[in-house]
Amino acid sequence: NAGVTQTPKFQVLKTGQSMTLQCAQDMNHNSMYWYRQDPGMGLRLIYYSASEGTTDKGEVPNGYNVSRLNKREFSLRLESAAPSQTSVYFCASTLGQIQETQYFGPGTRLLVL
Amino acid sequence: TQLLEQSPQFLSIQEGENLTVYCNSSSVFSSLQWYRQEPGEGPVLLVTVVTGGEVKKLKRLTFQFGDARKDSSLHITAAQPGDTGLYLCAGALDSNYQLIWGAGTKLIIKP
């Protein structure tokens, strides 16, 4: 089992460019999450999907969109990247609710110039 | 705004020493999780505490949930270099679909 996988591992963008971060899990989990991690600020929830076919905003959704493509895949899109979106992005999944054990991917390091 | 404050933010000690990391809030949590994150990787769950006053042990790590379920501590006995990492706590709120994360304690154990 690969668990949670994320692509790409590292990306450099120019301001205004767009990109999609991919996430997939092979644990048959129902819920998936996108977080960003910035120094001194912990993990902040961007969007989540409690089940296939549903998505909801988290704490910091502005500038992002998501798609729950199927039960396995949950993508995060930056339509017009800004330097403030420079961060490390983590995808996670849980079998059920958010307070259950979260399984994280290895992260995507994004630098927006 | 619900906050979960972790202290200290950074700790560097010698191998063999003991240490305690704290996680405090004014909110009451239904459960609290501790994760460890190594450089370049995602966080990995260490333990979940659910009951006020609960104590859980994981080898040299001892986790305690406060009686009022507003705070938690992680005590490491005889720290080893393999304990190096970022320790994160996350509290679950009953009132909504929310998990509150602390900013983390960066721990370095020097051989």
- pLDDT for B59-93, tens place per residue? 999 999 999 999 999 999 999 999 999 999 999 98
pLDDT category of residue B21 using cuts at 50, 70 and 90: very high
Burial annotation B24-33 (CB, 10 A radius, 16+ → b, else e): bbeeebebbb
Average pLDDT, chain B: 94
Q: What is the least distance, in Å, from the CA of A17 to any CA of chain B?
A: 25
Q: What is the mean pLDDT of residues A37-65?
A: 93
DSSP category for residue B50: -
Phi then psi for residue A21, to 5 deg, are -95, 130
Contact B43 A106 (CB under 8 A): no
Residues paired with A48 in a beta bridge:
A33, A56
Q: What is the dihedral of CA A31, A32, A33, A34, to 10 degrees?
A: -170
Convert the pLDDT of each residue in A57-85 to its tens digit: 999 999 999 999 899 999 999 999 999 99
Chain B residues in contact with A102 (beta carbon < 8 A): 33, 35, 43, 45, 90, 99
3-state helix, strand, coil in chain B (%, to 5): 5, 55, 40
Nearest to A50 by CA among A33, A31, A69, A28: A31
Tell me the sheet residues that pair with B36.
Answer: B44, B87
Q: How far is B108 from chain A (nearest CA, A)?
A: 16
Residues 60-79 of B with CB under 8 A from A: none
Report chain A's mean pLDDT, rounded to a whole number: 95
Does residue B95 register a pLDDT over 70? no
